[in-house]
Amino acid sequence: MKESWVGPIKDTWEPADLLDQKIVHRGAKWDVVVEQVEIGNSVVQRDVVVHPGAVAVVALNENEQIFLIRQYRQPLGMYLFETPAGLLDHGNESPLRAAQRELAEEAGLMASEWNVLVDFFNTPGGSSEAIRIYLARGIAQVSGGRIHTGEAEEMHLPGVWVDLDAACSLVLAGDLGNPTTVVGALAAQSAMRAKWHSLRPAQAPWQAHARRKLVRPD
- Whether 17 contacts 38, CB under 8 Å: yes
Q: Which of 93, 151, 153, 154 is catalytic?
A: 151
C-alpha closest to that of 46 among 75, 16, 26: 16
Write the CA distances from 166 to 52, 169, 178, 193, integer angstroms: 32, 5, 16, 15
Q: Tell me, what DSSP letter sits at residue 154?
A: G
Active site residue 151: yes
- Torsional class of 136: left (φ above 0), alpha (ψ -120 to 50), beta (otherwise): beta
- Whether 103 contacts 110, CB under 8 Å: yes
- Rounded Cα distance between 187 and 201, Å, is 16
Sign of CA dihedral 184, 188, 189, 190: positive
Active-site amino acid positions: 151
